[in-house]
Amino acid sequence: MSLNGMMRTGVSGMNAQANRLSTVAENIANSDTAGYKRASTEFSSLILPGSSGSYNSGAVTTDVRYNVNKQGELEFTSSATDLAIEGPGFFIVENGNGDPFLTRAGSFVPNGSGELVNAAGFTLLGYPYNGTGTPQTVVNGFDGLSPVNIGQGNLSATASTEGNFAGNLPSGAAVGDRVSSSLAVFDTVGNTVLVDLVYTKTQVADPSTSTPEEWTLEIVRRDDPTATPLNAPTTLSFTNGQLTTSPSLTFNLGTGNPDIAMDLSRITALGYPYDVASAGVNGSAPSKLESVQISSNGIVYGQYENGDLKPLYRLAMANVQSPDKLQPLAGNVYTQGVDSGVIVTGFAESGNFGSIISGALEGSNVDIAEELTSMIESQRSYTANSKVFQTGSDLMEILVNLKR
């Protein structure tokens, strides 16, 4: 056995325990950091080859691991933009350079531009709703993602594209009799336009000749009732009081506006006075965004002044085969590691992704009692290793003094 080898072994033991104490210090310092995952130090022996007549003491090596898979306790807050994940998965965020990262730290608040940014300065990403239906995720990349912006100064207006009318036309009316009702619809910039639905009886039913009862529907602008109707005159035929022609028609407010499809399937012509059971259109006038609501499947809804609730974004989530092997970086974020597996993206509550809880944060998964225990163990081990080094040093001094 070499005295130098003995001293080197003692030094390696002290270094290993110093690494362990460093992770303990980091864990204790981040015990209140949202989404923080506990670091631990794993030891492995390094054995050097020897002979039957001598033994070469080896050393100990360390490997720092992060317990990313372990869920932290949920801590509920009063902010709707504080987000926690219950189950597997990570939020996708980006830094100021637009580089994407993964995180469980969901303490998001809007910055001056309305973008949701967490305490470390990373911006939350999602897929925007753009009027083409529910966003679709790109499962093997971050294409299509954009910063989630809930700027409350933004105005929103939606043009009407569909409506419905349900009611009864009086079967006893004479040919030429008219009944009408008005609807408020919205053009492309959110102006309210009043239109009249004018029903004119054009034919009386004659059961003996199977002649149906007929009404003609024209839609005209209230502000210009003498103008050309907004639709081609539509004939509604009724047999035994039930509509037998196409239950829909389309009209348009003018150039630049979308067609508005009206559902008329619930109109009847019975021996009862003119009656409107229900009527309405979609669309909305300009309104400011007041607040946001985030559902458990990651849809960010905007609550507007007029009471409308509209989907704005759908939050993307990501995961890997081995989360504990992700590469941790400053700011409580992770990037793909050599042994973590490839990043797969998706939506909350689908596949192998957990639920998103609004108004909550995932706490650190650090156990203070466990860390203090590790600290005491490391302190004693460090002291014992220092004694090995000190003993080797003393023996080396004896050896040097033999020549004197």
- Quick check: 133 pLDDT over 70? no
- Are residues 167 and 278 located together in one domain of the fold? yes
Q: What is the enclosing helix (H) or strand (E) of 345?
A: strand 344-346
Query: Residue 294 falls within a domain, yes or no?
Result: yes
Q: Judge contact between 46 and 61, C-beta under 8 A.
A: yes
The confidence band for 5, taking pLDDT boundaries of 50, 70 and 90, is confident
Name the average pLDDT for the chain. 88
Beta carbons within 8 Å of 372's beta carbon, 6+ residues apart: none
Residue 50: the pLDDT is 60
Distance CA 275, CA 402 (A): 119
The confidence band for 203, taking pLDDT boundaries of 50, 70 and 90, is very high
Residue 285: the pLDDT is 85
What average pLDDT does range 83-104 have in this prediction?
A: 94
- Are residues 166 and 275 located together in one domain of the fold? yes
Give the single-character DSSP code of 45.
E
Beta bridge partners of 193: 185
- Are residues 166 and 276 located together in one domain of the fold? yes
- Are residues 256 and 352 located together in one domain of the fold? no
Q: How far is CA 335 from the centre of its chain?
A: 19
Q: What is the enclosing helix (H) or strand (E) of 369?
A: helix 368-401
Task: Give the number of C-alpha atoms closer than 13 A to the C-alpha of residue 245, restricted to the C-beta side.
Answer: 16
Distance CA 64, CA 70 (A): 16
- Are residues 353 and 389 located together in one domain of the fold? no
Among the listed residues 109, 101, 156, the one whose alpha carbon sits nearest the alpha carbon of residue 129: 156
Q: Judge contact between 102 and 343, C-beta under 8 A.
A: yes
- Are residues 292 and 145 located together in one domain of the fold? yes
- Are residues 397 and 303 located together in one domain of the fold? no
Q: What percent of the chain has pLDDT over 70?
A: 95
207 token code pair: 């059961």
Domain boundary among 248, 282, 316: 282
Query: Higher pLDDT residue, 285 or 136?
Result: 285
What average pLDDT does range 199-226 have in this prediction?
A: 90
Query: Residue 391 falls within a domain, yes or no?
Result: yes
Q: At 208, give phi and psi (nearest 5°).
A: -65, -30
- Are residues 115 and 187 located together in one domain of the fold? no
- Are residues 180 and 246 located together in one domain of the fold? yes
Query: Higher pLDDT residue, 18 or 157?
Result: 18
Q: How confident is the model over 41-65, as pLDDT tens digits?
A: 888 877 666 656 666 777 888 888 8
The confidence band for 168, taking pLDDT boundaries of 50, 70 and 90, is very high
Residue 60 carries which side chain, given as an amino acid letter?
V
Residue 126 carries which side chain, given as an amino acid letter?
G
- Are residues 84 and 28 located together in one domain of the fold? no
Total of domains in the chain: 3
- Quick check: 1 pLDDT over 80? no
What average pLDDT does range 317-331 have in this prediction?
A: 91
Q: What is the CATH number of the domain that holds 187?
A: 2.60.98.20
Which alpha helices (H) appear in 42-178, and where do they start and end?
A: none
What average pLDDT does range 33-40 have in this prediction?
A: 90
Query: Residue 123 falls within a domain, yes or no?
Result: yes
Q: Judge contact between 324 and 68, C-beta under 8 A.
A: yes
Rounded to 5°, the CA angle 265-266-269 comes to 105
- Give the chain's radius of gyration (CA, Å): 36
- Quick check: 226 pLDDT over 90? no
Distance CA 377, CA 229 (A): 88
- Are residues 104 and 61 located together in one domain of the fold? no
Query: Residue 156 falls within a domain, yes or no?
Result: no
Residue 224: the pLDDT is 81
- Quick check: 350 pLDDT over 80? yes
- Are residues 166 and 202 located together in one domain of the fold? yes
What average pLDDT does range 225-249 have in this prediction?
A: 88
Query: Residue 187 falls within a domain, yes or no?
Result: yes
Among the listed residues 216, 122, 123, 232, the one whose alpha carbon sits nearest the alpha carbon of residue 175: 216
Q: Judge contact between 258 and 86, C-beta under 8 A.
A: no
Query: Residue 25 falls within a domain, yes or no?
Result: yes
Beta carbons within 8 Å of 390's beta carbon, 6+ residues apart: none
Give the single-character DSSP code of 13.
H
Query: Residue 30 falls within a domain, yes or no?
Result: yes
Domain boundary among 282, 316, 333: 282
Domain span at 33: 3-69+365-401
Residue 168 carries which side chain, given as an amino acid letter?
N
Burial of 194 (0-12, 13-18, 19+ CB in 10 A): exposed
CB atoms within 10 A of CB 330: 6
Query: Residue 155 falls within a domain, yes or no?
Result: no
